[in-house]
Structure 1
Amino acid sequence: MSRILLIIVAVALFCSPVLAKMPAEKDGCGTQECSACHSLSLEEANKLLSFAGVTVKSVKPAPARGLFEVLFEKAGGVGLVFVDFAKKHLVQGMVIDLQTREPVAAHDKELPKPKQFTGVDPAQIPVKHAFTIGNPKGSKKLYVFTDPDCPFCRTLHGELLKLEKLMPDLAIHIMLYPLRQLHPQAYDKARVVLATKNRKNLDLAFDGKELPKLKGDAGAAAVDAVITFAQEQGINSTPTILLPDGKPYQGQRDAKSLQIILAQ
């Protein structure tokens, strides 16, 4: 769901007033190479993205006019973002070719292909690093990979609170999986929740409210373990709901719908 939202944001940017004010073709930005009018150096790109703690490796024209495609490196991995010609907006997500309906990027060959997630053996899920709500000893299990700063996750969290009341024999394992490139503050929020194991802090995190401050790296090992597991399995979006058999749930994400599928 997060990736779909990013695509929508990207489309919105293409139609933004900033791009609308760019020179028309007759003004010299039409059939010419865009580099004749616009440029973004590695030094500039690194300054623009310094807030994210990344190292820009290369900058190329994006497949869609009006954007630069920026390849960066962080913590041993690589990622891709787009910067508009005005150097005022950053877009995270994919550029979709409306003819082929496929993602396109000049850096495709440099980026690892995401693994398709089809499910996992529930016994492999690191539930010791979960925050479990509902009945920890319940005979039914639900696994939710979720990010406290993801808007879809926040909506789902409210439904999970309803679900635990509807199903007293259900253990809901909250696997905190912060998508740091999208939500830079989510990692520390996840750390606080897992370090304190305080239900109030869990709910505060998903309510977008302030959490207590931690000293040192408390909770980091647990969060890192969940992130590593999710990435190795190909779980690349939040929220991802896994049923008791470890298969991803694709239905409506409201408490009643989840109750029905879990009761089957």
Structure 2
Amino acid sequence: MSYNNDSLHTQSSFIIDEHHINTTLLPLSQAIKYVKGSGKRTIYEFSDPDCPFCEELEQLLLNINDLTIYLFLFPVTEIHPNAEFRANQIWNAKDRYAAWENYMLYRTAPDTSGDGENTPIEQNIALGRQLEITGTPTFFLENGFRVEGVLPAEDIERLLYQAE
């Protein structure tokens, strides 16, 4: 696997401090966008389709409204060897977010005829490394605050409120 970082920003331009990044520099074209309700609050989520903790986060996000989610498919192949294949399938699905949600919530394989070519998965892996993401799920609030792992829904709501 090779990584082309030419189009990515340098690590120092992304990272503000150990707990924050500059979210305005994220390449949103490499993410799956989903808007719930008004979408007035935003998270930038890095998740692995075969990660049980990412599955738990997806369950929690079902109950959080007025949210825009930018989902960066970020397979951690060292732990989940088939995750990159699955991430490519999800990216090539007609409705990417529905394919993600159906796989994460019901383990329904994405309906796709795509072969995984021309997906941003390798760029997302490189981006995650630049952002020093070491585990999934990791997400960032609109103000760039980093959240690692799974939190109770009420804590996520509180963080979203504070980031507004």
User: What TM-score, normalized to structure 1?
Assistant: 0.50
Match of 1:122 in 2: 23
Distance 1:249 1:256, change over 3 A: same
Q: Which moved more, 1:172-181 or 1:203-212?
A: 203-212
The answer as to whether partners of 1:119 and 1:248 remain within 8 angstroms in 2 is: yes
Distance 1:261 1:217, change over 3 A: closer
Match of 2:78 in 1: 181
Residue of structure 2 aligned with 1:134, choices 21, 29, 35: 35
Match of 2:151 in 1: 253
| Deviation (angstroms), 1:217 | 2.9
Q: Establish whether residue 244 from structure 1 lines up as the match of residue 142 from structure 2.
A: yes
Q: Which of structures 1 and 2 has the bigger CA Rg? A: 1
CA distance in 1, matches of 2:19, 2:27: 18
Deviations 1:185-238 (A, max 9, x none): 1112111222225133112221323223534333x5311221111112211210
Residue of structure 2 aligned with 1:235, choices 115, 119, 133: 133
The answer as to whether partners of 2:136 and 2:149 remain within 8 angstroms in 1 is: no
Greater RCO (CA < 8 Å, at least 6 residues apart): 2
| Deviation (angstroms), 1:123 | 1.1
User: What TM-score, normalized to structure 2?
Assistant: 0.76
Residue of structure 2 aligned with 1:161, choices 29, 40, 62: 62
CA distance in 1, matches of 2:123, 2:149: 27
Identity %: 24
Deviations 1:37-59 (A, max 9, x none): xxxxxxxxxxxxxxxxxxxxxxx
CA distance in 2, matches of 1:251, 1:217: 27
Match of 2:101 in 1: 203
| Deviation (angstroms), 1:254 | 2.5
Deviations 1:141-193 (A, max 9, x none): 11111111011110011111211xxx32x211111100012111111211122
Distance 1:129 1:212, change over 3 A: same
Name structure 2 gaps, 5 residues minimum.
Answer: 4-16
CA distance in 1, matches of 2:137, 2:115: 28
Name structure 1 gaps, 5 residues minimum.
Answer: 1-74, 78-115
Q: Which moved more, 1:233-242 or 1:249-258?
A: 249-258
CA distance in 2, matches of 1:136, 1:202: 19
The CA RMSD measured in Å over matched residues stands at: 2.6
* Aligned residue pairs, count: 147
Match of 1:151 in 2: 52
Q: Establish whether residue 172 from structure 1 lines up as the match of residue 69 from structure 2.
A: yes
The answer as to whether partners of 2:92 and 2:112 remain within 8 angstroms in 1 is: no
CA distance in 2, matches of 1:240, 1:261: 14
| Deviation (angstroms), 1:121 | 0.6
